[in-house]
Amino acid sequence: MSLIANVKVRHNNFALDVQLDIDPGETVAILGPNGAGKTTLLRALAGLVPIEGRVELAGQVLEDSALRLRVPTEERHIGLVFQDHVLFPHLSVLDNVAFGLQAQRRPEARQIARGWLERAGLAEKGSSMPRELSGGQAQRVALLRTLATDPRLLLLDEPLSALDVTIRAEVRRELSRQLASFGGVRLIVTHDPLEAIALADRLVVLENGRVVQSGTPEEVTARPRSRFVADLAGVNLLRGKGRGDHVELAGASIAAPDAGDGDVFAVIHPRAVALYLSRPEGTPRNVWHGEVEDIDLHGDRVRVRVKSPVPLVAEVTPAAVRDLRLHAGARVWVAFKATEVSVYPA
Amino acid sequence: MSQVRIPAALIALAGLGLLFFLLPLAGLIVRAPWDQAVAGITAPETVTALGLSLFCSVAATGIALVLGIPLAVVLSRNTGNLRGVMRALTTLPMVLPPVVGGVALLLAFGRRGLVGSLLDQAFGIQIPFTTAAAVMAETFVAMPFLVIAVEGGLRSLDPRYEEAARALGAKGWMVFARVTLPLLRPAIFSGAVLCWARALGEFGATITFAGNFPGRTQTVPIAVYVALETRPDSAIVLSLILLAVSVAILVGMRDRWLGAL
């Protein structure tokens, strides 16, 4: 019942090239910034966008461009849940849920649909029209409508982003419960790291139409391989050439033990970066003079972005900001110890 | 909520435009021989013409719905050169003088016409100068209004409704009948009303292709034209009746269906 896909889509200036291998019972989140090609990938798997390549689901070939084979969307037995739900506005909630069952010519489609609504605690909403539902209810009905057709593959496009922030956590818990009870392949597309980490067992990070990284949320955030992931993990990510005991960057070099050889990433946590008003004399081997670019409050910490030969973010306390009179444009020294740098191959 | 003030010049021009519509109506109402109106309405010729007009215009609208909605679907889904040609063909009757349309219909369906001669030889069917001809003439002239309205509705329809239906396993016909068609209802109704109104007022194509036979092809507009030469008072009464029927139906439907019109 697994999904094996090799999807290539070419638009005017955009190329999507993704390989996926997902087992049933596993929830995978495609995470990436806007415009990375996430929704295009979802539509391609649903058969709404023609592709070059091959899609195989549960042993059945859904699409193979080399064989000119293409199973149309309505025969793929997949479930597609849109970002803003796309409930049929002219049909009652019950008829929306029954729609897919009627398409399958199941007898007593409405009876089965009523059962789905009852189990979801939405029985009394059956005769309501979609416009009378709250955002959270609409999201649940959209998911029920899809699950009722017993799809082999569930595709969710930004399932929570159309919802109010105040109810997101609740709907996310509910969604996570429903996903766990669904036995097929589950694929979620999102730009929200929180949503991805909360719902998925595995992340696939998509940028500019390509997979830049994949793995469990812990693996991905521990070793970011792109600016997008480094930002969501909140760390400094640098890319350069490993030279044994240091990493060469464009215009600078940082001391790091075990820097290896060849193209590498170097990660420094902002907590490890210290700021000084005068040049520090001490053990830190990495010291540069720079200028404060901007200052941002993150919970009870302050993140200070410094423009120096190596662009860095330092995390300090509000008291430190006050004592050092930090402000945009202030001249500071940045320093961190070589042992705080973690280096891994690019 | 404050709005941008409309410049005085625009208001003056708009007033002039409104007046241009109002004055002919006023002329009709002021000059109407009200003492003869009741007798005019109940006169057998009037009742016959009115009945025929209603029958023909409703029949034309029905045919336009059956043929025009599929045509609009095909037009809206097609891209490329073919669509341009098809679109030009369907909208041609809107710009063609109706009399020319009538002549064209004669050349196609007349006794010696392209299709008409075949129909005559094979089945002995002759279309011109029958009620069927009047219905055809009205359909020819009025259907483009429906096609254009429905095509516009299709274009503004969010394609994801149909995609969602397909992802749920619905095949082509079910998607059309249960999703596309119901969502198009407002566009279909406004298109049908426009089409019906155009059919009700049709004159040129009808008199050319169907002639002027009381009880068979003489619709109210033709009766008005004929009466104008011999009995101008009857012409005015007939015009008033046509006006009243049109206004009554437009006003009656406006709130329910024509919100967007």
Query: Best residue in A97, A99, A112, A143 to probe B by mutation, most B CBs within 10 Å?
Result: A99
In one-letter notation, the amino acid at residue B136 is: M
Instruction: Compute the mean pLDDT over every residue in chain B, rounded to the nearest whole number.
Output: 89
Q: What is the mean pLDDT of each run of 10 residues along chain A (346 residues)?
A: 90 90 91 90 94 93 94 94 94 97 93 94 94 92 94 92 83 87 91 87 92 91 87 88 88 86 90 91 88 89 91 92 90 92 88
For the cut 70, the answer to whether the pLDDT of residue B149 exceeds it is yes
Q: What's the CATH number of domain A3-87+133-231, 1.10.10.10, 3.40.50.20, 3.10.20.30, 3.40.50.300?
A: 3.40.50.300
* B160, B169, B182: residue with CB nearest A103: B169
* Residue B259 in this model has a pLDDT that exceeds 70: no
- The domain defined by A236-345 folds into OB fold (Dihydrolipoamide Acetyltransferase, E2P) (2.40.50)
Q: Where are the alpha helices (DSSP H) in A49-203?
A: 93-103, 109-119, 135-147, 165-180, 193-199
pLDDT score, position B2: 60
Q: Name which of A48, A79, A99 is nearest B163 (Cβ-Cβ).
A: A48
Per-residue pLDDT, B103: 95
pLDDT at B11: 94
The pLDDT assigned to A71 comes to: 95
Residues of A in contact with B169 (CB under 8 A): 74-75, 77, 100, 103-104, 149
Domain boundaries, chain A: 3-87+133-231, 236-345
- Cβ-in-10-Å burial (0-12, 13-18, 19+) of B220 comes to buried
Task: Identify any residues that bridge with A153 across adjacent strands, giving them in sequence order.
Answer: A78, A185
**This prediction's pTM:** 0.81
Give residue B255's pLDDT: 62
Q: Could you tell me which residue, A255 or B41, shows the higher pLDDT?
A: A255
Helix (H) or strand (E) holding A38: helix A38-46
Strand partners, A5: A20, A55
Q: Do B170 and A90 touch (CB under 8 A)?
A: no
B113-135 pLDDT, tens per residue? Answer: 899 889 988 898 889 999 999 99
Check: CB of residue B219 under 8 Å from CB of residue B206: yes
pLDDT at B100 over 60: yes
Q: Which residue in B97, B43, B17 sits closest to B241, CA to CA?
A: B43
pLDDT at residue B257, rounded to an integer: 53
Query: ipTM of this predicted complex?
Result: 0.81
According to the model, what pLDDT value does residue B41 have? Answer: 74
Q: Does A152 touch chain B (CB under 8 A)?
A: no
Q: Which tens digit of pLDDT belongs to each residue from B67-82?
A: 999 999 999 987 777 8
Residue B9 to residue B13: CA distance in whole angstroms? 6
B171·A80 Cβ contact <8 A: no
| Closest chain B residue by Cα to residue A49 | B163
- Tokens describing residue B137: 């003439």
Give mean pLDDT, residues B196-216.
93
Distances from the Cα of B80 to the Cαs of A71, B14, B76, B85, B157, in angstroms?
Answer: 25, 39, 11, 9, 20
**Looking at residue B261, what is its pLDDT?**
41
A27 at B interface, C-beta within 8 A:
no
> Bridge-partner residues for A28, per DSSP?
A187, A202
A46 contact residues in B (CB cutoff 8 A):
163, 167
The residue among B4 and A38 whose pLDDT is bigger is A38
Nearest chain B alpha carbon to A81: B164
**With DSSP H G I counted as helix, E B as strand and the rest as coil, what are the percentages for chain A, rounded to 5?**
30, 40, 30
Would you call A89 an interface residue with chain B, using a CB distance cutoff of 8 Å? yes
Q: Which of A92, A144, A137 is nearest to A117 (CA)?
A: A144
Distance CA B128, CA B217 (A): 10
| Predicted local confidence at residue B81, as pLDDT | 79
Half-sphere exposure of B240 (CA within 13 A, CB side): 20
Which domains, ranges and CATH numbers included, belong to chain B?
A: 38-257 (1.10.3720.10)
Look up residue B190 and give its DSSP letter.
H
Q: For residue B162, what are the contacts with CB-CB under 8 A and spacing of at least 6?
A: B175, B179, B180
Interface check for A86 against chain B (CB to CB < 8 A): the answer is yes
Residue B185's closest CA among B252, B74, B260? B260
Residue of B nearest to A104 (CA): B169
Residue A337 and residue A285 in contact, taking contact as beta carbons nearer than 8 Å: yes
Chain A positions in Cβ-Cβ contact with residue B178 (cut-off 8 Å):
91, 99
Q: Is residue B174 over pLDDT 80?
A: yes
In this complex, the residue of A78, A89, A91 whose CB is nearest that of residue B167 is A78
A302: tokens are 């302050």
Residue B177: DSSP 8-state = I
Q: Residue A158: which region, alpha, beta or left (left: phi > 0; alpha: psi -120 to 50)?
A: left
- Rounded Cα gap, residues B105 and B115, in angstroms: 10
A4 CB neighbour count, 10 Å cutoff: 15
